[in-house]
Amino acid sequence: MPAILTVAGITLLGSFICSLLEAVLYTVTPSQVELLRKRQVFGADLLARLRTDMQEPIAAILTINTITHTVGAAWCGALVGHNYGDFALGIFAAVFTLAILFVTEIVPKSLGVTYAYQMAPWIAWPIQVQIWLIWPVVKISALVMALFTQKDENLFPTEEEIMAMTRLAMKGGELRPQELAWVENSLRLDQVKAADLMTPRTVVYSLPADLPIEDVKERSRHWVHSRLPLTEDQDPDQIVGMVHRRDVFDAFVRPKPAVKTLRDIKRDLEFVPESMRGHQLLDKFIKEKRHMVGVISEYGGFEGVVTLEDVLECLLGDEIVDEHDRHADLQKVARERAKARAKELARIRAEERMLTKDASQDPSTDGETSSEETAPTNDQSLAISDADSGPKPSQPSDEPGPPSSNNNP
């Protein structure tokens, strides 16, 4: 009896360890392994190498587990049959099968799945020892498995998996909803273009490059930004650079003979294509220490400006507004102005069509009326001659002038 119990115990213990190692190795995630490596936990580096190619460790675990089951069960069965007969052998077979099911399958794998992260540092070296013990068998098994399986190239989580994990972390209370939004926005930053982030040209407030420094004071109430684009007087869409508000104030405080216009203190404004991605813009702003760039179309036309603040707003998912901003979203303002202009043009065209229709249906346009107009009476001729005898005095018009071409706020 002691020999039977010893062999059965060794068999169950060996199979228990193999099943536990297998469950932990399959359950621990790459992110958890990387966290263990970052904390410099013993065995974390070896565990990361084992997970890189799972064929060898799995082949070693399954081989030793199978050998333990087979040899242990056969040995115990032989001892029971030799000492207690066939009837006892049948009872032992049933009991030992249940023991293998619960002790070597259900219990260890449940523990491995539940405590995978805690046990992960301790499984690396036992698995490596198993690989060394049966190295030829492991290599043969790996070669056979390579014939029927392909190497998994997706060892690292994708963006969708990362977002799914962050949502689970938020549901579990590990992350706040705002932190979840930050993670998702940062992952989607490569899907956003400069055209989606920029302040459109129609609402960009700019200054002429040849504007005298003294005349800037008259426009200072519109100047709420740190940097403004500079344009040519003849072509407002031709950007020649930008000017910093601090440079203008320095010119006021410490006048220099060489500084007469904004062109004398302008800085270079770099341009980027409207197709540039958000993560590229952020990287450019940080590495080159810039805060504003111009945006051009594929044909080289000026489309607007994009700032570091615009990229950060996309990253945070909210508008950054200070006490001087009159509009939180200038793209919305540009769209509203475009809609207003479209409605005004539609109204003017409708009125023109109505006037054209009324003129075509007016009976006063026949030949009789035309003859009367071409042959005025003597009184009418006298009135006309008196009116044309001297120059007309110019009278101021009460109607408002045409809207300014500068649509900037």
Question: Looking at residue 116, what is its pLDDT?
Answer: 92
What is the mean predicted confidence (pLDDT) over 223-236? 82
Exposed e or buried b per residue across 200-214, where buried means at least 16 C-beta atoms within 10 angstroms of its C-beta:
bbbbbbbbbbbbebe
Output the CA angle 305-310-315, nearest 5 degrees: 150
* Calpha distance 273→393 (Å, rounded): 55
Q: Is residue 332 part of a domain?
A: no
187 and 319 both lie in a single domain: no
- For residue 396, tell me if it sits in a domain: no
* CB contact at 8 A, 330 and 198: no
Is 211 found in the same domain as 184? no
302: phi > 0 → left, psi -120 to 50 → alpha, else beta; which?
Answer: beta
Q: Which domain holds residue 60?
A: 2-148
Domain boundary residue among 300, 326, 352? Answer: 326
DSSP class of 104 = I
- Measure the CA–CA gap between 333 and 325, rounded to whole angstroms: 13
125 is a domain residue: yes
Q: Taking all residues of the chain, what is their mean pLDDT, rounded to a whole number?
A: 79
199 and 267 in a common domain: yes
What pLDDT is stored for residue 359 in this prediction? 67
> Does 339 map to a domain?
no
- CATH number, residue 256: 3.10.580.10
Span 333-354, mean pLDDT?
A: 60
**Does some domain include residue 154?**
no
Show which of 91, 116, 148 is a domain's final residue.
Answer: 148
pLDDT at residue 338 greater than cutoff 60: no
Does 202 lie in the same domain as 144? no
The total domain count for the chain is 3
9, 143: one domain = yes
Laid out side by side, the sheet with 292-296 consists of 199-200, 302-307, 292-296, 271-273
Residue 139 shares a structural domain with residue 228: no
The phi, psi pair for 15, rounded to 5°, reads -70, -35
Asked which of 326, 355, 389 is the last residue of a domain, the reply is 326
Determine, yes or no, domain membership for 297.
yes
Distance CA 406, CA 409 (A): 9
Residues 121 and 58 in one domain: yes
The pLDDT of residue 404 is 37
The answer on 201 and 120 residing in a single domain is no
Task: State if pTM tops 0.85.
Answer: no
Report if residue 311 sits inside a domain: yes
Tens digits of per-residue pLDDT, 239-298?
999 999 889 888 888 888 888 889 999 999 999 999 999 999 999 999 999 999 999 998
Max CA pair span of the chain: 151
* Helix, strand or coil, per DSSP, at residue 292: strand
Residue 352: pLDDT band with limits 50, 70, 90: low
Residues 38 and 124 in one domain: yes
Percentage above 90 pLDDT, the chain: 29
| Span 136-168, pLDDT tens digits | 988 888 788 777 776 655 667 788 888 888 888
Tokens for 292? 């504003």
Are 223 and 293 within one domain? yes
Q: What percent of the chain has pLDDT over 70?
A: 76
Same domain, 170 and 139: no
Question: Could you tell me the CA-to-CA distances from 369 to 20, 107, 372 in Å, in that order?
Answer: 108, 109, 5
pLDDT > 80? residue 63: yes
Whether 32 and 77 map to the same domain: the answer is yes
374 belongs to a structural domain: no
